[in-house]
Structure 1
Amino acid sequence: MKTLGKKIRLLRHQKGWSQEDVAKRLDISIPAFSKIETGITDINLSRLEQIADLFEMSVVQLLTFNDAEGELKYANELETVNKKLMDRETEVIDLQKKVIELFEELRQTKATA
């Protein structure tokens, strides 16, 4: 059941919903929904149907949902964010060099004055 919980969590993240959002829609407590996602609680058929309906899929689709597609999406997003981070780090290094150059110019100006 842990795999099902991971699938539900992935679907929830894809929708941009919090655990609270889903718990309210299912009319259960947040801890109860958290236990479903973590696999602590086994899901009965009626709850499974309710969750499948919430994500606009059949029970079979929910049970066979391939989370590799979702992981690929997150991997692509992670790659994009990492590239942006590296670009920002390069900008910071360039700015640090500029600060050092300006400091050296200021120091030389004071030394010759």
Structure 2
Amino acid sequence: MEQQITTLNLGIKIRFFRDMKGLSQQALAMQLGISQQAYQKIESGVTKLDVERANVIANELGVQLDFLISFSPANYWYQCTLSGNTVNNNIPKELLEAHQSQIQVLKEEVLFLRELLKGKL
């Protein structure tokens, strides 16, 4: 019998990392070889994931499955300790890399849109 992942907010976590990578539901669904509707059911929690499928999704998102399952904004997202003039952030490497990837995608999109505007002005 396959082990079911019972984390209530797994779909929300998957959506968070998908958004961080700048992927649409359609794009990630295509990478997974499923329809956008089937993928939407995963994010909304309608479809229960077994460990194997969750691992495939985590890999496509560029994170480890255990990190995806245990991820909690309360535990990982901008945990700061102010000490004098020093701020200590506990930001996981995967999250930082996802942010950097998203920034790069947005920079490329801005450059593309600027080029489009140059042609129309």
* 2:15 alignment partner in structure 1: 9
Greater share of residues in strand: 2
The separation in 2 between residues aligned to 1:48 and 1:3, in whole angstroms, is 13
Aligned length: 70
Instruction: State the identity %.
Output: 37
Instruction: Give yes or no for contact 1:10–1:67 (8 Å, CA) kept in 2.
Output: no
Unaligned runs of 5+ in 1: 71-113
- Aligned residue identity for 1:14: M
In the aligned structure 2, how far is the partner of 1:25 from the partner of 1:56?
Answer: 13
**TM score, norm. by length of structure 1:** 0.57
Residue aligning to 1:31:
37
Pick from 63, 76, 79: which aligns with 2:69? 63
Q: Deviations over 1:55-112 (max 9, x none)?
A: 2222111101123428xxxxxxxxxxxxxxxxxxxxxxxxxxxxxxxxxxxxxxxxxx
**1:48 touches 1:59 (CA, 8 Å); kept in 2?**
yes
User: Quick check: which one's helix share is greater?
Assistant: 1
Cα shift at 1:50? 0.2
Assess if the C-alpha contact under 8 Å between 1:2 and 1:38 holds in 2.
no
Query: 3-state DSSP class of the match of 2:9?
Result: helix
Deviation track 1:11-62 (CA, whole Å, cap 9, x = no partner) reads 1111111000100011111011000000001011111110111122221111
**Structure 2 unaligned residues grouped into runs of 5+:** 1-6, 79-121
| Aligned-CA RMSD value | 1.6
Higher gyration radius (CA): 1
